[in-house]
Structure 1
Amino acid sequence: MTRRRRPGARRRAPWAFLAPAIVLFLLFFALPIGYAIHLSLRTIEVQGLGLGSGARSEVWAGLSNYADALSDPELLDGALRVGVYGLIVVPVMLGLALLFALILDADRVRGRRFGRLVIFLPYAVPGVIAALLWGFLYLPSVSPLHHTLDALGLPEPDLLGGGALYAALANIAVWGGTGFNMIVIYTALRAIPADVHEAARLDGCSQLQIALRIKVPMVTPALVLTFFFSIIATLQVFSEPTTLRPLTNGISTTWSPLMKVYRDAFDTGDVHSAAATAVVIAVVTLALSFGFLRAAGARTRQEEAR
């Protein structure tokens, strides 16, 4: 005889399966965010010379840390530098990813598996390792590029200073991120029905026309997704400039907003100001991401309505 389960047990079963994920989410995501917000609303009050056990105490600061962060010229300068960096990285990286995906999706291309592996392989290299590898290639004293140019009597560019520094940092990001974006776009291309390609060929379309007029419009959602990921990665740039900083004087400790957060928290010891700056960066990233996704969704609905 089959025993019937109680209605209460059936209602509790989904929560039992979700419990591990909920616990991990609360411990490693929600709790750190809540603690960062708590720290951002506090500050250290120093009495007298700041000596003794009761001379330094944590007090309520309200929104003063946020006001200081928003008016901090170092944070604004870092945001401007990241903006220039993003204007180089995002178009170049997505353009190369789309180009490689279209080439690999072409009918007469051989060695697709090897090509995907070679293009994707740099993404598997950790960002710090990639920055070190490229840093030694940029450094004049050890770079084979500089030795070759010197042997040929050609001028040696300073890739770790001035305006070339943006290109040097962007090159590391493009080298490491193109493969991931290419895989996303290539997967979307492979999902296009073969009948669409065949109909275009029967209409007399060339491979270039098929790519520009059929493939690119049909993988627009994948392009939007990769653009979204690239924007978030650009706003969170940290490992590349931090790794290259010992090699050049052109990168300060506040070159990017996240580097300023790290300096305030671990070098200066002002964790409350660092928490406020981190919350501001998170809110700006969330606002930009939400605004972009909403604009992309509105455009998609308009195209579907046509």
Structure 2
Amino acid sequence: MYDIIGDVHGEASMLKKLLKKMGYEKTNGSFSHPDRKAVFVGDFINRGPEIRKTLRMIRSMVEAGNAYAVLGNHEINAIIYHTKDKQGSLLIRKPNKYFLSLFKTINEFKLEPLEWKDTLNWLRTLPLFLDFGDIRIVHACWSEKAIEVARSIYTEGRIKKKVFRTIHKNSDSEISQNVWLLTKGVYLKMPSDLHVRNNKGVMPRSFRIKWWEDPKGKTFKDLSFESKYTLPDYTVPVEILPGVHPYPEDAPLLFFGHYCRWNGPVIIKPNICCVDSCVTGTSNLTAYRWSGEKVLNPDNVVTLK
């Protein structure tokens, strides 16, 4: 049986409290449970005050066989940031907004460069998804085509550096598009005359959508899966609708993070659950305790308050 844990983002102390609340104990350097295993949905790094400790905790659990983990978009950005091209030069020479959040992580490892290098190599051993038959885990979006691509690039127990070079250098490639689909989900570009401010006063030009639903006839508000702002309640023009990836009602239970749900809901549909509660040190860290049920049960949601 599995405990699926949301985005930790460097909050090691909070993770420790959540594990203990669920009956995990630290033995032989790793947290473990006599009957269960933890599953981490990605985004272990950045933001929080204990990033290095968080990585050590999760890695020790995975390597001891007490947990599983998948890559999130933050880990992929970290790998790309430190990957070199064939000539030996770093791929990222001038960080953009997607890489600025890495500086806190890098700073924690500045006195331990060998440990950071080893950690990056370990991150490349993590898959982009997990399929246990009755349950599935991915960081942001489940797409059958993207899953097949993910299978093809995970070889010899890791994702090779050339894959990350492709992701960065060729955004139109099949590999790049599908890796980001799994780890970032689907976005809808806003019309030029639609102006919305998020909770930081910024006007974003795209928003995250409910990729598992048919978007036709839905309003911007209904289609949105954002937590930082509310969109208007009028129908999205068919001409700007992005591709979606409907998730059947009879498909296995699906767990993902990425979407920062704050106070919920965690259970989105009877077989879809988002465990990312936007942990910040003062807000919650959430897990779902799966024990074989075919339909998600709200009573199995555990939140550290």
* Larger RCO (CA within 8 A; separation ≥ 6): 1
**TM-score, length basis structure 1:** 0.23
Higher strand share: 2
Comparing both structures, which one devotes a greater share of its residues to helix?
Answer: 1
Q: TM-score, normalised by structure 2?
A: 0.23
